[in-house]
Amino acid sequence: AQRVTQPEKLLSVFKGAPVELKCNYSYSGSPELFWYVQYSRQRLQLLLRHISRESIKGFTADLNKGETSFHLKKPFAQEEDSAMYYCALSYGQNFVFGPGTRLSVLP
Amino acid sequence: DVKVTQSSRYLVKRTGEKVFLECVQDMDHENMFWYRQDPGLGLRLIYFSYDVKMKEKGDIPEGYSVSREKKERFSLILESASTNQTSMYLCASSLTSGRTMGNGQFFGPGTRLTVL
């Protein structure tokens, strides 16, 4: 079965430090990959997708097919980035979410 | 803005009760989804629907059923609630065909169900 792994359940960084949330997937074809974010007491929302190669709220993510990774990065973390982050894989008619990483940005 | 609403934020039911969770979206999306969200497990797809009266099983359909009589409404039914169905339930909708996320899914606020 296709899988998405996010090795860190919790990631804590200080404000202003770089942050990288790891995501690896298992799929041999051409995947669609996404990052979703859920802030405290808010609904889950799409942060970015690899197709658009966009930067949202300072976050970027590059698809590395060789390493089957789609890590989420931000050069300078802000306290308002504290949230739950989910990586998601779509392939054909299917998709799957990773287990999520809770990012805590400390003052 | 797409609005996906769910009938209840919090729900407490007893074992064996029949439970209905309602979801409504107002953007004429063809696709609707029900997930459960559990710590450490991420989101797991229960059922989804491409169109009115159509439904497909997701990864964990056991113990659940769904109903989609109107395009904007997708109901999740727990026929006989059990304690292991205590969870956060998320509804989502999208414009894309099939199960691909394409332009992304829009989520409701969630219903936290506790089964005693």
CA angle centred on A99, ends B88 and B98, rounded to 5°: 75
Whether A7 has a pLDDT exceeding 70, the answer reads: yes
Per the rule left: phi > 0, alpha: psi between -120 and 50, beta: everything else, B41 is alpha
Tens digits of residue pLDDT in A17-64: 999 999 999 988 778 889 999 999 899 998 988 877 778 899 999 888
pLDDT at B69 over 70: yes
Q: How far apart are CA A9 and CA A6, in angstroms?
A: 7
Asked whether B108 and B4 are in contact (CB, 8 A), the reply is: yes
Q: Tell me, what's the pLDDT at B2?
A: 60
Does A9 sit within 8 Å of B40, measured CB to CB? yes
Give the pLDDT of residue B103: 63
pLDDT digits (tens, 9 = 90+) for B39-65: 888 889 999 998 898 899 998 999 999
For an interface test with B, the pick among A51, A95, A96, A97 (most B C-beta atoms closer than 10 Å) comes out as A95
Question: What secondary structure does DSSP assign to A88-105, as a single string?
Answer: EEEETTEEEE---EEEEE
- Looking at residue A39, what is its pLDDT? 95
Interface of B with A (CB under 8 A): 4, 35, 40-45, 59, 90, 92, 98-102, 104-110
**Does B83 score more than 60 pLDDT?**
yes
What are the two backbone dihedrals, phi and then psi, of residue A87, each rounded to the nearest 5 degrees? -95, 145
Mean per-residue pLDDT over chain B, rounded:
90
Beta-carbon separation of A90 and B102 below 8 A: yes
Tell me the mean pLDDT in the region A10-17: 97
**Do residue A86 and residue B41 have CB atoms under 8 angstroms apart?**
no
Closest CB to A45: pick one of B44, B59, B107.
B107
- Percent of chain B whose predicted confidence (pLDDT) is above 70: 91
Contact B101 A95 (CB under 8 A): yes
For residue B97, what pLDDT band results from cuts at 50, 70 and 90?
low
User: What CA–CA distance (Å, rounded) separates B94 from A79?
Assistant: 30
Query: Which residues of chain B are within 8 Å of residue A99 when distances are taken between CB atoms?
Result: 40-42
Nearest to B75 by CA among B53, B96, B58: B53
Q: Which has the minimum average pLDDT: A49-58, A76-85, B103-112?
A: A49-58
